[in-house]
Chains A and B, each alone.
Chain A
Amino acid sequence: MKHEKEFGFDTRMVHAGHIPDSQTGSRAVPIYQTSSFVFFDADHAAELFDLKQYGHIYSRISNPTVSVFEERMAALEGATGAVATTTGMSAQLAVFMTLLEPGDEVVSSSHLYGGTLVQFTYTLKKMGISVTFVDPTDIGAWERAITPRTKALYGELIGNPKGSILDLEKVGALAASHCIPLIIDNTMATPYLCRPMEFGATIVVYSATKFIGGHGNSLGGVVLDSGKFDYTRFPAVADPSPKYHNLRFFDTFGHYAFLMKLRVETVRDVGCCLSPMNAFLLIQGLETLSLRMDRHVSNALKIAKFLEGHPKVAWVSYAGLPSHPQYDLARKYLPMGPSAVFSFGLKDNGGEDVRLAGKKFIKSLKLFSHLANMGDVRSLVIHPASTTHQQLSDEELKEAGVGPELIRLSIGIENVEDLLWDLEQAFHAL
């Protein structure tokens, strides 16, 4: 019998990246709670530090438990490899620190998580990198914003907070025509619902804190590379590195070059490594990813339909509803459903300030937790204008598509009847 088989997604979800070790045979992934790893001898140490050998040196660079999480993510994404980080924020920052140099530019979708908008606008600026924001649904706007200094395109596949869907193939083709990578934040969809590399993305980043971990108990992030991009034009990846005796990463490591560089230079120098304990908890989450996502999505669709028909709701913005402007794109890129995070607007009933009505609604909910996260097994609710997006100016708020009436839901895996009951009783309190 042939020893070659491509296993299915669910099989990879529970097996990929972990082969029971010969020493103990431990079936569950062991937690290697250690800072450092013993060398065989001085020559072995020298070869490890020179990158001539694979192997663990110090958990800031790599760790066996974290490696399982990384390979499992890469296997689920169909990527060449992965590097795990402390958070999604550090994952995307590590990508830019590895790829770009001062003076470089990025063109990004404006439909982003508020924290990302702030990081791009202020923190990247301190590093000499400027970001131009465009309406992600307007392909002409992407094209017009690209200059000779543009080194990457960036977007969330399912944009925060109105669930706009990025046309991956079009934006990917645009990136390819300019020989620059398309970087996608796929946090909302997870590799179960969409694998953006199949549609032209080069690099995919996640906040693993959300649906990947799934239980709202551990922070983490991850960077994945398709291995298909030619980094010859990117001096930050291709030029001799003074940190490693002028090693040329792209020449030496080929399709692994970007991730190697990100791990042994950026993450090593910045210290944004994932902890083994969090890697273990995120692996536990991954093992039920498809089961949870199926429930998240089916609950979300039922709730979105309920809200759309509700007299106290002005609008619902969920790409799983035919009323959403990118419904067709969602069907194309996310055929199993556009995740379980979406927003709706309370109807302005004339008398009361809609902002106050929003606060009252959230206060009345008994099952939905009011907090700043998403992708938990528990249902969550937030009012972005007063929380996640409160650092933005009115102009930036408008650009990001967040109004004062907007309430964002992250639908959990509870009994959907109970969630519907909770929403109805909260509307009743208005």
Chain B
Amino acid sequence: MGSGTSVSCSITLNSVLTKEQKELYQNPEDIRKILNECKTIAIVGLSTDKQRASYFVASYMRSAGYRIIPVNPRADRIFGETCYPDLKSIPEPVDLVDIFRPSNDCLEILQEAIAIKTKAVWLQLKIINEEAAELARKAGLLVAMDCCIKMEHGRYCGGLHEAGMNTEIISAQRVHRYV
């Protein structure tokens, strides 16, 4: 997966983050590292409603080869996978915690993420909590905030391009773009 050694620049996102915040929380190199190195993703706030954004993201990432662990206290199983009420109940190592919860809930979730020793955390589009993000970053975790993991994956793996979107990736090298 990924786009080899191609050069990219920050995508033009409808993000309210400042330039400095984008460098910290939407850094293309960190995002590529997360997508390349994290194989098991716990999705906090994954909905059972098939038309919700969280379900779209989860089913996309599953098809792209990632293992998805749903975290939702009000559901038993999603995609046939056991749902856990919170991160600390998950009985296996988690590489990435992806969050679809209101910004105010994020501090507590990220404290849990740090406690279970996850490598990275991802706050989806429009979910912004700088205090929580800084806590995770200072604990040595890779952090992405106010962006979408499906869009970012699609950007590096060609799917977003197929939808006519601006990936802002330029490369003259012959590389594998597809998973």
Contacts and interface: CB of A to CB of B under 8 A. Distances in A.
**A and B associate in one complex:** yes
Interface of A: 2-7, 11-12, 15-17, 19-22, 25, 44, 47, 50-56, 62, 64, 66-67, 70-71, 74-75, 78-84, 227-228, 240, 244-248, 251-252, 254-256, 259-260, 263
B137 to A, nearest CB: 19
A240 to B, nearest CB: 8
A357 to B, nearest CB: 48
Interface stretch (B9-17, B66-74, B102-110, B114-122): B9-17
B148 to A, nearest CB: 7
A145 B65 CA distance: 54
Contact of B170 (A11, A70, A81, A228): A11
B154 A54 contact: yes
Nearest to B124: A254
A64 B177 CA distance: 13
Contact of A62 (B28, B154, B163, B172): B163
Q: Looking at chain B, what size class is its interface with the partner chain?
A: 35 or more
Contacts of A50: 50
B28 A256 contact: no
B23 to A, nearest CB: 10
A57 to B, nearest CB: 10
A3 B8 contact: yes
Contacts of B10: 4
Contacts of A260: 163
Contacts of B52: 251-252
B7 interface: yes
Contacts of B175: 19-20, 22
A218 B7 CA distance: 32
A53 B166 contact: no
A399 to B, nearest CB: 36
A248 B167 CA distance: 23
B90 to A, nearest CB: 24
B163 A254 contact: no
Given A75-B166, A246-B51, A255-B14, A4 B174 contact: no
